[in-house]
Amino acid sequence: MSDTHCPYCALQCAMSLAAPGGTAGPVAVAPREFPTNRGGLCQKGWTSPEVLTAPDRLTHPWVRGDDGLLHPATWDEALDVVARGVRRVQDAHGRDAVGVFGGGGLTNEKAYQLGKFARVALRTKHIDYNGRFCMSSAAAAGNRAFGVDRGLPFPLPDLGGAGAVLLLGSNVADTMPPLVQHLAGVRGRGGLVVVDPRRSATAALTAEGAGLHLQPLPGTDQVLLLGLLHVLVADDLVDHAYLAARTDGWEDVQRSVAEWWPGRVADRTGVPEATLRAAARLLADASPSRGGRGGYVLTGRGVEQHTDGTDTVTAAINVALALGLPGRTGSGYGCLTGQGNGQGGREHGQKSDQLPGYRLISDPAARAHVAGVWGVDPDDLPGPGVPAVELLHRLGDEVRALLVHGSNVVVSAPDATAVRERLERLDLLVVCDVVPSETAQLADVVLPVTQWAEEDGTMTNLEGRVLRRRRAVAPPPEVRSELDVLADLAALLGSPAKLDRDPETVYDELRRASAGGRADYAGISWARLDAGEELFWPCPDEAHAGTPRMFLDGFLTATGRATMTPVRPGGPDDDLRPDAPVYLVTGRVLAQYQSGAQTRRVPALNRVAAEPFVELHPHLAGGIGVDDGELVTITSARGRATARARVSTAIRPDTVFMPFHWPGEGSANTLTTDATDPVSGMPEFKVCAVSVARAEEEDR
């Protein structure tokens, strides 16, 4: 029996695995009592071992031949093709002509080693990862306000005692169901406020007096938040003492919301004035300054994946600060990280501008510290690269080779058809994966790597809690860890620094590299994790108990005070027009995960969610002559997709919803825009203009 954690979302539910004889084969899973999941698992967690024995599991390397087809190869052959291809590209076009694209599901050790490999073995600035699609806007806003980015700067169970929780743009009932039990207390007190243009499963939790559902027009979340803050100011519901003692910039923010009176906000968002005022009063009554039980403001992708996503999250943080919530036990602001290691994956070197420990790569002191750990000259480290969408834009031009680890960009990236075309222009595409994803099928070299239950390592969940992942089964004989792959490639490329293969050794190096940084893991030893200690970063030494609740004694800004910043709504990059009069929003469903590369290979999950769909209101369906279950075609400026209609009053009449887990003709990301937030680099997945029509015969 091995104690480990689920391979999917950032909740990282605790589970135990049992495998007969410790070898690959039928693996039994059982939920484990843990603060985050409290003994619960969702459908994906219960069926997670099935991916270990997927019929098309990658079990040996593949290399594309002169005939254009992928053929089985030995590891020596495959790695030689990669090394020769990398050298050829860099000799012809420079070091930055090779890019690296990582993933938010990689362990801390693999994420760290990938960043080191890119900057030491390849010496390229071009590295980023799919976590840029996950919560980069919240990260940018958190750094702006608090001086640090940790998804939840408090333990998840703290939510249970709150008097009110404002949840913006996150359908946790479908995306991380065990989290819902932490909302039971606030629902019982009538204090759950959910902001979502759909009547999602999470929004439905507000029924029967459990709270409020605010259903704004897509792209107007920031306007709604400015309206909430206007009401708090006008009705004198803010925490004046907290604002004076713990924040900077309040006067400018207060002036900036004067123009967002409730009537104007109602006109822009569609949320009635009375509902807006009720939400503001509910949140204020829960605030500590008014003797309430405490309150929380939580954001998710729905408000972050916009061209003004950073400013929208800043507006949410301003609301939380005005109520005096952050840095108080029983209250706070947090972001619900999506991917399994979305938190740790960005802390230790996969982001284009960061070194381990959340150090900026442009900071000379940071470069010197990390270079010292790596045993290289700081001047040999590359400078900042570019965010993921811009990196994908450069494929086939400035970037001629790409190494992909733990990501399926052909399905998950915005404007997916253009991404596929750019990938096909590369001189070399190398993909490390566990199954032949849609991206792997385009590769010149495919390398089979270990899965979650076949490896040891650490993960960092949405709370900043560091967790131990434990090996339960042996991988297939020809499957290797990415730590082995990176070590072998580094040696072939003549890396000036050695890359270790043992996960504990790599983790100890990560701890040294992070020491003194904002995300300091120095005191979180492998032994302490194995002993069962619950450790949250920052944890600067082994005598330190970790930091489950941040900001109690001050924020990590230069002044120790939170920075409040006035913001102004920008609106969608791809807005409504006569030939595209409907908004498209995208998201997830309960039984599938991310690009679906893993979950679409689990029969039990496919029986629940076998194909994409388009959710549309009866008024819209009637206008185009479509009944439930019939095919509809959605067209944007970038492409079109066809899927079955799901007619529902849960969606606004001016909006349609598509999940993004599927490739092919039902791929939602053939429609989405790759316009990005100028601060965070996050693409605007959550709103674009489309037309909707009954599918004609040629569309099927």
Q: What backbone phi and psi angles, to 5 degrees, belong to 336? A: -85, 95
Domain termination residue (choose one: 297, 316, 335): 335
Q: 453 lies in a domain? A: yes
Residues 513, 469, single domain; the answer is: yes
Q: Is 554 contained in some domain?
A: no
- Report CA dihedral (644, 43, 536, 288) to the nearest 10 degrees: 70
User: Does 71 share its domain with 164?
Assistant: no
pLDDT of residue 135: 85
CA dist 422 → 90, 394, 410, 442 (Å): 19, 8, 10, 11
Phi, psi of 302 (to 5 degrees): -60, -30
pLDDT, average across residues 221-232: 98
Please, is 652 exposed, middle or buried when counting C-beta atoms within 10 Å of its C-beta (0-12, 13-18, 19+)?
buried
- What confidence score (pLDDT) does residue 697 get? 52
The first and second tokens of residue 525, run together, are 């030893």
Q: How many angstroms separate the CA atoms of 255 and 258, rounded? A: 6
pLDDT-derived band of residue 26, with 50, 70 and 90 as boundaries?
A: confident
Alpha helices in 442-551 (DSSP H): 482-492, 503-514, 526-530
Residues 175 and 320 occupy one common structural domain: yes
**By C-alpha distance, which of 160, 165, 284 is closest to 232?**
284
The number of distinct structural domains making up the chain is 4
Q: Mind listing the pLDDT tens digit for each residue in 513-559? A: 999 999 999 999 999 999 999 999 999 999 999 999 999 999 999 99
Please give the average per-residue pLDDT across 339-344, as a whole number.
Answer: 90
CA 255 to each of CA 222, 303, 600, 642: distance values in angstroms, whole numbers, following the listed order: 16, 23, 50, 47
* 409, 411, 415, 418: CA torsion to nearest 10: 70
Which residues, in sequence order, are bridge partners of residue 247? Answer: 562
Q: CA 620 to CA 617: how far, in whole Å?
A: 5
Query: What CA–CA distance (Å, rounded) separates 253 from 87?
Result: 52
376 three-state secondary structure: coil
Q: Which CATH number is 415's domain given?
A: 3.40.50.740
Distance CA 669, CA 485 (A): 31
558 CA to centre of own chain = 28
Report if residue 566 sits inside a domain.
Answer: no
Identify residue 595 by its one-letter amino acid code. S
Average pLDDT, integer, range 394-417: 97
If you ran DSSP here, which 8-state letter would residue 557 be given?
S
Half-sphere exposure of 89 (CA within 13 A, CB side): 27
Beta-strand (E) ranges in 65-215? 70-72, 98-102, 127-129, 164-168, 192-195, 211-214
Task: Say yes or no: 85 and 41 in one domain.
Answer: no
**Rounded Cα–Cα distance for residues 212 and 459 (Å):** 35
In 257-378, alpha helices (H): 262-269, 273-286, 301-304, 309-322, 342-347, 364-374
**CATH code of the domain covering residue 634:** 2.40.40.20
Question: Mind listing the pLDDT tens digit for each residue in 599-616?
Answer: 999 999 999 999 999 999
Same domain, 253 and 287: yes
329 within a domain of the structure (yes/no): yes
286-316 pLDDT tens trace: 999 999 999 999 999 999 999 999 999 999 9
227 & 268 share domain:
yes
Q: Which residues pair with 655 in a beta bridge?
A: 583
Give the per-residue pLDDT at 699. Answer: 56
Residues 318 and 198 reside in one and the same domain: yes
Flag whether 564 is in a domain. Answer: no
pLDDT at 380 over 60: yes
Last residue of a domain, one of 335, 355, 375: 335
Q: Is residue 420 part of a domain?
A: yes
The CATH number assigned to the domain holding 162 equals 3.40.228.10
Q: Where are the alpha helices (DSSP H) in 425-467?
A: none
Bridge partners, residue 447, by sequence: 432
Rounded CA separation 560/551 (Å): 9
Residue 550, in any domain of the structure: no
Q: How far apart are CA 636 and CA 417, in angstroms?
A: 12
**Taking the CA of residue 406 as centre, how many other CA atoms within 13 Å lie in the half-sphere pointing to its CB?**
27
Question: For residue 696, what pLDDT band results from cuts at 50, 70 and 90?
Answer: confident
Predicted structure pTM score: 0.97
Does 393 share its domain with 524? yes
Instruction: Based on the fold, state whether residues 262 and 157 are members of the same structural domain.
Output: yes
Q: How many whole angstroms separate alpha carbon 398 and alpha carbon 111?
A: 24
Cis amide prior to 538 (ω within 30 degrees): yes
The residue among 30, 53, 76 that closes a domain is 53
The model's pLDDT over 568-589, given as tens digits with 9 standing for 90+, comes to 999 899 999 999 999 999 999 9
Q: How far apart are CA 198 and CA 527, in angstroms?
A: 46
pLDDT at 21: 64
Q: What is the pLDDT of residues 421-479, one digit of tens each?
A: 999 999 999 999 999 999 999 999 999 999 999 999 999 999 999 999 999 999 999 99
Residues 366 and 284 in one domain: no
Q: Do residues 360 and 503 share a domain?
A: yes
**Backbone phi and psi for residue 351, each to the nearest 5 degrees, phi listed first:** -75, 150
Q: Is residue 41 part of a domain?
A: yes
The candidate with the shortest Cα–Cα distance to 659, out of 9, 174, 202, is: 174
Which CA distances in Å does 184 have to 193, 325, 326, 330? Answer: 13, 20, 22, 15
Q: Is 204 helix (H, G, I), strand (E, B) or coil?
A: helix
> Would you place residue 698 in the very low, low, confident or very high pLDDT band (cuts 50, 70, 90)?
very low
Q: CA–CA separation, 440 vs 410, rounded Å?
A: 9
Q: Is the CB of residue 61 less than 8 Å from the CB of residue 75?
A: yes
What is the mean predicted confidence (pLDDT) over 28-50? 96
Tell me the percentage of the chain whose pLDDT exceeds 70: 99
Distance CA(287)–CA(480), nearest Å, equals 52
- Domain with 12, as residue range(s), is 2-53
In this predicted structure, the answer to whether residue 652 has a pLDDT above a threshold of 60 is yes
d(CA 314, CA 565): 7
What does the buried/exposed string (b/e) look like for 256-272 if buried means 16 or more CB atoms within 10 Å of the residue's CB? bbeebebeebbebbbbe
The whole-number pLDDT of residue 346 equals 86
Half-sphere exposure of 560 (CA within 13 A, CB side): 5
> Residue 534 has which token pair?
């619950």
* CATH number of the structural domain spanning residue 26: 2.20.25.90
Rounded to an integer, the average pLDDT of 384-410 is 97
431 and 501 housed in the same domain: yes
* pLDDT tens-digit series, residues 72-97: 999 999 999 999 999 999 999 999 99
